[in-house]
Structure formats: C-alpha cells, structure tokens
Chains A and B, each alone.
Chain A
C-alpha cells in the first residue's frame, strides 16, 4: 500500500502505516497476481496450507479451504 501524501488512510478499519495493524490487514487480504506463481514441488494442498499458515490461518481449516476451491481431488 502506497503511503498517503497527506491525510490518513484506513484500510479495513486499520492504519496500514503501522506494523501491527498492517499485519492484521494482511491476515484479511486476498491477493491474486496476474502472473500466478507457485512452487512446483508442492502439492495443491501443501501450497494452500503453506499460504494459509503464512496468513496465520489455523492449519485445521486448510482442508476445508482446499475443498472450497474444488481441488480436493488434486490434494495429493
């Protein structure tokens, strides 16, 4: 997020200029780049779990997240 030249910026009700709130924002932020990168060595489930853990999502929710995107059959 580019810092504002003047005034204040609130994103998802938080100040992205400070580390703590920015971390909270990132936990809620989804990001889909145009050129999707991935780690070829990871399975789909591992890749989703990896990013879920980086986003501080409880690991127990990962299987559900995979199923949600209809990739359960490709988990391994």
Chain B
C-alpha cells in the first residue's frame, strides 16, 4: 500500500452548538412530509366504522363504552399505522438515498428514530383525536362518573408499538412486499391474540384487545361499584412498550447504525424491551378474577383500588323508594315503572322492604372457563329491611330492549317483594315454608289462601297467577304459580280483580290472620 499524505481540509462549518434544535428541525421536516399523514383518513374511517359505532351501540356507561373502545381501536389502527410506518422505514431504499444518508455525520439510528418519531406523532395525533371525540360524546351521554383512562392508555401505548414494528420491518427488510406483508401479519397477529385468552391465569390475557375478564368483557357492573383495576392494563402497556423498545433497538444493531457506544445502547434497549415484554406476559399469567369482575395481578395490584366507589344513589318517589347507582340514572324510570304496581300494593305493610337498593354482583371464575354471577347474600337484609336489586343486564346490551329489561326486573323482584310480605317478611321464600309450593295446590285452606293472595298481588303487576308453571316456584322466589281451574287460581283471579286500594286495605287488615292460616279461600274478597 502506498502511503499518501494530503493536507487536512479546514473545517467547512462549525459543529452545531444546539443539536436539540437540529433534531427539532429534522423532526419538523419529517412531520411535514410524512406518509402517515395521508394514512390518517383511513385510520379515522376505520375507527368510525368499527370502534366508534360499536362503542356508541353500548349503553351510556363510561365503563362499558371505554372497554368496548379498547377492544376495537387497536385493530382499527393496525393497518394504517403499521403500513404507514413500514412505508416510511423503507423510504431510503425505495428512493435510492441509502448511500447518501449513510455518509452523513448523524448516526443512522438517530436519523431513523427521528423519522419514526414523526411517523408516530401523526398516528398518535389521529388516535388521540378519535378517542377525544369519542370520549367527548360519551361524556354527553353518561349520567355519572368520569372518563375511564386506562383503556385509552393501553390504546395509546399500542400506537408507538405498532409504528415501531412496522418501521423496523420496512427498514430492516426493504422490499416492495414488506409493507403489505407486515400489515397483514400485524393485523391477524393481533387479532388472533384475542382467542388465546381463556379464563383466569391465562397468558393470552396480555393481548391488548382483552379488556378485563375474558368471559365478561364490557359489563355494566365492572368498574361501577368498585374502582376499575389497572393491573391488566399495566401489564399490557408494559408489553407494548417492550415491543416498541425491542423493535426500535433492532434498528440500531446493524453495523453502520452508529458508533460502538450507540450500538451497545441499541442492544441494551432491545434486551430491555424483550425483557419487559416477557415479564408482562408472565404477569398476565398470574392474573385472576376478583369478586368485582376485574382481573387482579398480585404483583401489580394496589389494595387501595379494592375500596368501593362512594356515590349518592338516585331514588324514585314511590311507596318503596327504588335507589340506583347514579350511573344507571337513565334506567330508573324503567325500573320504577316495572315495580311500581307491586310497590304501591305492599308499601308500608309489615315485612315489606323499606327501600330497594341496587347492589353489585359477585363474579366467580368457574373451572370450565365460565364465570358465575352471584348475589352477595339474601335478597332482603337489614333492619329496616332493604331489598338488594341486581341489574346484570341493561337495555342496549346484547340487544336487550327496554321492554325486555322491565319484564326481567319485574320477574326477578316483584315476586320477592310480595313473598316478603305475604310469608312474613325477611324474604323467606314460600318453598321454605313447610309445605310451601306444593301445599299451595294441595295443602290446607290457609296455605292456599296465602298463595292465592300472593298471585293476586302479582297479577296486576303483570305476572299472571299461572306463570311460570303451575305449582313451580317463580324464579328468584318461592312463590308458587297456580294451576288454572283450581280453587286457589279462581280466588287469585278474584282478588286481582279488586281495585288496588281495596286489595291493599284488605291486606292491611287481614295480613296477620292470613299468615297465621286463619283465612280460607272462601274468605278472600
């Protein structure tokens, strides 16, 4: 080799004194000329078509709508964000500028990170805009509570992750097929993570599409009476942050990405990202259902979140007040109308509940991947007695109409209220009275009279004396149905035909004798 010497060139310009300013100017240029900007209409269209419409179809409760939003929004943003980012990552190969940028002073990894940051900024702006509009509309509809931020935060964490994966694929595998392939792979890859989750302690729950317990999903009772638990959201965000870090770190590993220190830093970022993602998956595997319908990850759980949410219930002005969680304010008229006929009949009588108060359900994981919805205890407790009303489904959920909702509320609770009055209070069902249901058909005159009066009270409330099946207890109570053609059935029809004040007046005067078995069918008015 021939040694050659040449005079060192003078410095053509002083090194920039404010590298942050130069980075900002590069970022501005990348923002102005970024393909993701053109993908935003696609993202917004997909969001409106899928996540927005599905979310707005849910009942106007913050928890249900925010949880529905999380389930759909990431899938909506995958195609435009991953595709747009891959397109930007492939830019230098596509535009034959690889050699030109390779000989510039700024490290390649730093330059790529700026391009990725600009791409992600637009995607994030689109996401935040969509979620902002959605939350603003929800705020107009929801009667109580505030925005549920954790589902939105998981979605926000997903944007950089998707962008990083797409960008890294485009940059590291420059090909015209990379953009469509990585978009399809990311879409179906994310979509297929949903079915992987099943029951408690499933690693598949790490999927950012999973909101709360897999088998419950958006549920009116989750996050309404108790705080929304962020455990699963934190693990999901950890996974997404880890994926983003790993993908971005990969960009800095190849020779030429930068100096030794920079490449070591990239390797450390990649390793940290993979570690965080692995830990997140492991944490998701330890998740278990808590009694309030949410997932607890012991390592991430804050016991302070187990406290019930304080609220002032909204109550009806009926003979027996019906009090609901304020989130359910919109349903108070329907619930009141469903129960009012019975409340007017028995309000103030011995054994009648003093108040009807909405209660939270207890959720319990079943071994066969199912979840049981249990009541917290006897339907009527306390002194003065309070009937605990459970609304496990509300109109708009799974196609439930207001009429079906009212019928369900009436069927579940009217018989309980009448049962409490007629059979001596405290919610003692007739089936536990010696000779209860069967005795109503064949037992003594006193017991038949009890059953007839109960059926006669329920008739005007829309529950015919013969439903659901003669002699069988009604769901939720021990009150028997009556077989058509029997003397008890005829007496029930006769009692039901009385004007409401007359029924109530007779019941107030004869309730003690009725419960003692001293009233016969023939003595019923």
Chain A positions within 8 Å of B, measured between CB atoms, are 4-7, 10, 12-14, 19-20, 23-24, 26-29, 31, 33, 35-42, 46, 49-51, 53-59, 61
Contact = CB atoms under 8 A, between A and B. Distances in A.
Interface residues of B, number: 40
Interface of B: 1, 3, 5-9, 11-16, 19, 21-22, 25-26, 29, 32-33, 91-92, 95-101, 103-107, 111, 258-261
Contacts of B26: 50, 53-54
B97 A37 contact: yes
A5 B2 CA distance: 12
B95 A56 contact: no
A53 B30 CA distance: 12
B103 A26 contact: yes
16 contacts: A6-B1, A10-B5, A12-B8, A19-B258, A23-B107, A28-B12, A33-B96, A35-B96, A37-B95, A37-B100, A39-B91, A53-B106, A54-B101, A56-B22, A56-B105, A58-B13
A41 B22 CA distance: 20
A68 B439 CA distance: 107
Nearest to A59: B25
B33 A59 contact: no
Nearest to A29: B103
B106 A54 contact: yes
Contacts of A27: 12-13, 15, 105
Contacts of B3: 7
A28 B1 contact: no
Contacts of A53: 22, 25-26, 29, 106
A57 B91 CA distance: 23
A58 B97 contact: no
A26 B104 contact: yes
A24 B9 CA distance: 11
A3 to B, nearest CB: 12
A38 B259 contact: no
B96 to A, nearest CB: 3
A38 B95 contact: yes
Contact of B29 (A10, A50, A58): A50
Given A27-B105, A56-B105, A42 B29 contact: yes
B357 to A, nearest CB: 62
Given A13-B8, A23-B107, A58-B13, 7 more contacts: A12-B6, A33-B100, A39-B95, A39-B97, A46-B32, A51-B101, A53-B25
A41 to B, nearest CB: 4
B16 A56 contact: yes
A37 B14 CA distance: 27
A46 B31 CA distance: 12
Nearest to B17: A58
Contacts of B11: 28
